[in-house]
Amino acid sequence: MELLALFFNSFVVGFSGAMMPGPLLAVDIAETPKHGWRAGPILSVGHAVAEVAIVVVLSLGVAALAHNPLVASVIGVVGGAALILMGGNMACSILRGRVSYNAETTDRVSHHRLAGKGITATLSNPYWFVWWATTGLAFLVKSMKFGVVGPVVFYFGHIMSDFVWYTVVSLLLWQGKRLLVGWGLKVLILVCAAFLIYLGIVFISDGLGGELAGSMDEALAIIGALR
């Protein structure tokens, strides 16, 4: 029963990260018109790959690196630059007519490349690292009292929240596609592109300003109190 409670709690808490607007949500919105409702779960596969990596790293105790100001700054700057490039490429593709968002479009990438976009969108968001250095790591520490099975149960409970959320978003967008076909949909994608560029600028600013390092220091202090 305790493991079931761990699964349920990690599933619910996972929504605290999944439902926050960010790069992955913007990419989900942009790719759904081309891939249909499958965009959400496919992007979530890429997201899951990134998350299993960070769970393993944190479980091995490498989280101590997160408080290093240089590491935090690099995460912010590199992640921000990746978001600006992603948003810029998205906007250019729309403005130059390289992508058609009409009812029947054939301009779609493979499922592997779409999953890769899920990984890129995840790793380019420095606040994803902050979430894992706070809420995620606190939960992970508590789950380890069950041994190896604890982090595994926690991971699957957490990742299920992402699959559910992004699949629901894709389903709702796909069902409402008829209302957005044409310029309406293109404008929505341009808004998403602008949002990615804005996030990129904010991430770079925070990285250079040391705000991410401060957040990670506070996170590690909280984790130290839990142990």
The answer to whether residues 196 and 85 touch, using CB atoms and an 8 Å cutoff, is no
Give the pLDDT of residue 134.
Answer: 65
Give the pLDDT of residue 105.
Answer: 46
The answer to which of 14-23, 45-54, 145-154, 195-204 has the lowest mean pLDDT is 14-23
**Among 144, 173, 191, 216, residue whose Cα is nearest residue 32:** 173
Average pLDDT, integer, range 2-10: 84
Q: What confidence category does residue 64 fall into, taking pLDDT thresholds of 50, 70 and 90?
A: low
Q: What confidence category does residue 56 fall into, taking pLDDT thresholds of 50, 70 and 90?
A: confident
Q: What confidence category does residue 212 fall into, taking pLDDT thresholds of 50, 70 and 90?
A: low
Average pLDDT, integer, range 5-24: 76
Q: Does residue 160 surpass a pLDDT of 90?
A: yes
Structure tokens at 111: 């499922």
Q: CB under 8 Å to 50, separation ≥6 — which residues?
A: 118, 119, 122, 123
Between CA 182 and CA 221 the distance in angstroms is: 50
- Convert the pLDDT of each residue in 107-144 to its tens digit: 556 788 889 889 988 888 777 877 777 667 767 777 87
Average pLDDT, integer, range 190-210: 77
pTM (2 decimals)?
Answer: 0.65
Q: Which domain holds residue 149?
A: 2-226
Angle between helices 111-123 and 23-35 (to 10 degrees): 160
The answer to whether residues 114 and 35 touch, using CB atoms and an 8 Å cutoff, is yes
Structure tokens at 128: 């994803």
The answer to which of 147-156, 164-173, 188-197 has the lowest mean pLDDT is 188-197
Average pLDDT, integer, range 45-61: 84
